[in-house]
Amino acid sequence: MKLFYDLHIHSCVSPCGDDEMTPNNIVNMAYIKGLDVISVTDHNTVANVEVVSQLAKKRGLLFIPGIEVQTKEEVHILCYFPRTDLIGLFDSELASFRTPIKNNSKIFGNQWIMDEEDAIVGEVEHALIMSLNISIEALEKLVKKYKGVIVPAHVNKLANSILVNLGFIPNDLDIHTVEIHDKSPLNENLVKGYKQIFNSDAHYLKDIHEPMQTFDLYEKSCEAVIDYLAGKV
């Protein structure tokens, strides 16, 4: 089953996400563009995951609960889970690794939490732009504890990528898929043997992918996507 996907979208709770990246706007744009599978992967928080999940379900879109964690190595790692309750438990444990520095919205941007009507119901107070005090290795173990999978984000990008910051992908990490930034040069030898996915990393509505990237799954389900990313199929 071939499905069109975009698994790296930021909502308005990400400080760098545009204020128009509301739950309804994201879901409706993905629906209009003809995507089958989406994921909201905000920086270091899952505050808008549940609401986007519910809205995506109403539109018939498969929603993968996700988050983009910035590790203490300043590497961005995409983390995906099969259910929202599992990512919620993961997020509760991740809280102890966060830096207790308040966000300055005038400098970094708003961090809005929204409901299903796109009304602002809260704001994440700590600065989500900061790295968490957790290593990539520790993050991988925590993600696997809750049946999730990690995917290094935009590995060929010049900022916050595992290949730039570390120079390689450690062999002891259980990684089978990497995300490629399609506007940056790539040394194919560095990602040889890994599956490659191409997401938008959208911070603005216009940047959400058109239906151009597909993967072939055994069924349209979160579990099938996780299995694909984990190299099980």
Hey, is 43 helix, strand or coil? Answer: strand
Torsions phi, psi of 146, nearest 5? -110, 30
Residue 200 has pLDDT above 90, yes or no: yes
Q: Do residues 110 and 12 touch, judged by C-beta distance below 8 A?
A: yes
To the nearest whole number, what is the mean pLDDT of the chain? 96
User: Tell me, what amino acid is at 205?
Assistant: L
- Judged on CB neighbours under 10 Å (0-12, 13-18, 19+), 206 is exposed
**Looking at per-residue confidence, does 193 or 183 come out higher?**
193
- Quick one: average pLDDT of 29-44? 98
Determine the number of helices (DSSP H) and then strands (DSSP E) in the chain: 7, 11
Of 185, 70, 186, nearest in space to 139 by CA: 70
H or E segment to which residue 36 belongs: none
Quote the pLDDT of residue 233: 87
* Beta-ladder partners of 77: 69, 152
Please state, in angstroms and rounded to a whole number, the distance separating the CA atoms of residues 168 and 170.
6
Quote the pLDDT of residue 141: 97
Quote the pLDDT of residue 185: 77
8-state DSSP, 132: P
pLDDT digits (tens, 9 = 90+) for 71-115: 999 999 999 999 999 999 999 999 999 988 999 999 999 999 999
Q: Where are the beta strands (DSSP E) in the chain?
A: 2-9, 37-40, 62-63, 66-70, 76-80, 112-114, 120-123, 149-152, 177-179, 195-197, 214-216
Quote the pLDDT of residue 8: 98
Residue given tokens 């069109």 in the structure block: 4
Residue 225 has pLDDT above 90, yes or no: yes
Residue 188 has pLDDT above 90, yes or no: no
Quote the pLDDT of residue 183: 76
Neighbours of 192 (CB within 10 A): 7
Please state, in angstroms and rounded to a whole number, the distance separating the CA atoms of residues 203 and 209.
11
Provide the percentage of residues in the chain whose pLDDT is more than 70.
100
Hey, is 70 helix, strand or coil? Answer: strand
Q: Do residues 173 and 137 touch, judged by C-beta distance below 8 A?
A: yes
**Per-residue confidence band for 189, with pLDDT thresholds at 50, 70 and 90:** confident
List the single range of 1-15, 136-150, 181-195, 212-226 with lowest mean pLDDT.
181-195
Domain 2-229: give its CATH code.
3.20.20.140
Quote the pLDDT of residue 74: 97
Provide the percentage of residues in the chain whose pLDDT is more than 90.
91
Q: Do residues 221 and 65 touch, judged by C-beta distance below 8 A?
A: no
Q: Do residues 48 and 40 touch, judged by C-beta distance below 8 A?
A: yes
- Distance from first CA to last CA of the chain, Å, rounded? 13
- Quick one: average pLDDT of 205-230? 96
Domain ranges of the chain: 2-229
